[in-house]
Amino acid sequence: MIKKSKRIKIIEELKKNTNNAPDINYKDFEFNDEAITFIYSMSVSSSNDINDFILRRIDEDKDKIKSDDLYEYVKNYIPNNNILSFSEEKKISYYVMSGFTVCVFDDGKLLAFENRANIYSPINKSENEKGIKGPSDAFSENYQFNMGMIRRRLKTEKLWIDEATVGTESKTKVALFYIKGVSNEQMVKKISKQINNINIKYVGNTNYIIDAISNTNRFIFPTMLATQRPDFACQMLLEGRIVLMVENSNEVIILPCMFIDFFKNPEDYYEKSLNVIGNRIIRIIALFLAILTPAVYISLMAYNQEALPSGLLINFSIQRDGVPFSTVFEIIVMSFMFYILRESDMRFPGKGGSSISIVGALVLGQAAVEAGIVSPITIIIVGISSVASLAFSSIELINSIKWVQLFLIILAALFGFIGVMFGFIMLMALLISQNSCGKPYFSPFEPFNFKAQKDAIITKKSAKFNPDIVYDKDDDDEKNS
């Protein structure tokens, strides 16, 4: 009687804690003088698996089983790839919610069988980071698939994975991937410690982890690189970086990351290095154009006209003739219009987006110029800077460029070229002073690392596995001390 009451007590406790959740099922089996209960969730576990491999099996073999070795029988004869024996009663709900079937015995022994249902989206093509060449599979929301995608690419035993659970309510798994012997161990330790110290309720996406472990949120540029592409993640792992994978999230975080990494594309490693150098230079020029064009244009139009060639000056002057607003106002208004267009284009569901672009192009571009509200050059300038700002695959970088643009526009409007210069110096100071997981953000340019230049602007296939970016002198010093 004492034995029975323990099983029933556990079940009653669970029912009370979950408020008798409708999707949690309790299935009792009674033998001669013993009974067991299977607890499973209908929503996250596969009912077929439970029926075929657990319930039917028990039902068919009911007579053969002797009550003495019931526990041994269930443990050994039920076909399942992942049978866990545990004793903490508190863990029952976690296993049930994770898609396990938990078997409770009279003496309070507990067994869990994995019957996870496949309720994840399948492996898709990467949508945010498009590429012409190379593998096109992307991380999905399935934690195990994601892990598999990395394992499949790096079959080495040196790929080590540390797992932790984050989120007091969501209990999300977070895995830390690194290559033993290549990654900096101290950094791995530091990051695992940081992850274990996270105290949040819910982990919705990788960004929750990024926000929780980055030291400051005031820095507008992203200090962690999130990618959807497993090939890129493996590439980065081999360079000695750490990859953070979060359950239910379709991207992984790469740590530490430098500013130059936002100019890299997975595709870069599948093409001829010489051509890639050209692409990277174009991306860097695009950054400069995105940040500087509106500010420089304002300084030229309002303060430093002597810096323009005379032909261009007359041209600009003729174009601006009759426009009632100041250049600064024009630029700011048109930039805002572009951002509003972009936002509505992104948020509008389905095919409606293209009609917004047409309205934007026609109404805000052509018609505004013909009506004499803005000058055509303003449209060109805003066009150049906004197209250039979209040349990057990282949405975080694109969003941060917006702030820099506005900051420099205001400085240009107040101080002309001196202001732009000052703003640019401040921006550089900000970038150089920053760090990502203790690594200088502007490396390998500042501090200058000659060896790492091979995978900065210049790419060399041979330099792909060069751990210089992560390993530098400081690490060795730290280790020795």
Partner 1 sequence: MKKIHKIIIILLFIFCLSGCYNYEEINNYAIVSGISIDQNKEDNSKYDVGIQIMNAKKDEEADNSLITFYKASGNTIFESLEKIMLDSPKEIYLGHNEVIVISETLLKEKDPLNFLDFFMRNPQVEKDSLVMIAKDSNAYEVLKIITPLETIPSRNLKSSLNIADKYSGTLTIITIDEFISNLINDGVEAVLPAVTIDGKTSSGDDMENISESDPKTKLKFETLGFFQNNKLKDYLSKDESMGYNFLAGTPSETYINVKCDDSNYASLKISNSKLKEEMVIKDGKPKVSINDNITADLAEYNCKADFIKNNDIIEEIEKNASKKIKELMNKSINKLYVENKSDVLKYGLKFYQKKYKEMEKYGYKAEEIINNIDFDINVNVEINSSELSIKSVKENK
Q: How far is the CB of 307 from partner 1 (least distance, A)?
A: 9
Check if the beta carbon of residue 111 is closer than 8 Å to that of residue 83: yes
Q: For residue 207, what is the DSSP state?
A: H
Largest Cα span, the chain: 103
Q: Which is nearer to partner 1, 105 or 316 (CB)?
A: 316
Name the token pair of 280.
């990277």
- Residue closer to partner 1 by CB (options 346, 414) is 414
Q: How far is the CB of 371 from partner 1 (least distance, A)?
A: 14
The nearer residue to partner 1, 218 or 473, going by C-beta atoms, is 218
Q: Which is nearer to partner 1, 127 or 370 (CB)?
A: 370
Nearer to partner 1, 97 or 302 (CB): 302
Q: Which is nearer to partner 1, 390 or 425 (by Cβ)? A: 425
CA 352 to chain centre: 27
Q: Please identify which residue in the block is written with the tokens 């509003």.
A: 340
CB of 305 to partner 1, least distance (A): 6
Task: Give yes or no for a contact between 98 and 116, defined as CB atoms under 8 angstroms apart.
Answer: yes
Task: Residue 288: name the closest of 266, 263, 265 by CA.
Answer: 263
In the complex, minimum distance from the CB of residue 387 to partner 1, in angstroms, rounded to a whole number: 24
Least distance in Å: CB of 382 to partner 1?
17
Residue 57 vs residues 30, 49, 50, 112, 156: alpha-carbon distances, Å: 14, 11, 10, 16, 39
Among 7, 44, 13, smallest CA distance to 27 is for 7
Considering Cα of 77, then 79, then 82, then 88, what sign does the dihedral take?
Answer: negative
For residue 255, what is the enclosing H or E element? strand 252-255
CA 167 – CA 90 distance, rounded (Å): 16
* Helix pair 185-196, 473-480: axis angle to 10 deg: 80
Shortest reach from residue 339's CB to partner 1, in Å: 25
Q: How far is the CB of 224 from partner 1 (least distance, A)?
A: 23
Nearer to partner 1, 302 or 458 (CB): 302
Distance in angstroms (rounded) separating the CA atoms of residues 24 and 26 = 7
Smallest distance, partner 1 to C-beta of residue 296, A = 14
Helix (H, G, I), strand (E, B) or coil at 270: helix
Task: Write down the least CB distance from residue 361 to partner 1, Å.
Answer: 23
Nearer to partner 1, 313 or 395 (CB): 313
Helices first, then strands: H and E counts in the chain: 18, 12
Q: How far apart are the first and last CA of the chain?
A: 63
Partners of 173 in beta bridges: 165
- Where along the sequence are the contacts to partner 1 (CB under 8 A)? 301-303, 305-306, 310, 313-314, 316-318, 320-323, 326-327, 414-416, 418-419, 422, 426
What's 360's DSSP letter? Answer: I
For partner 1, the closer CB: 122 or 322? 322
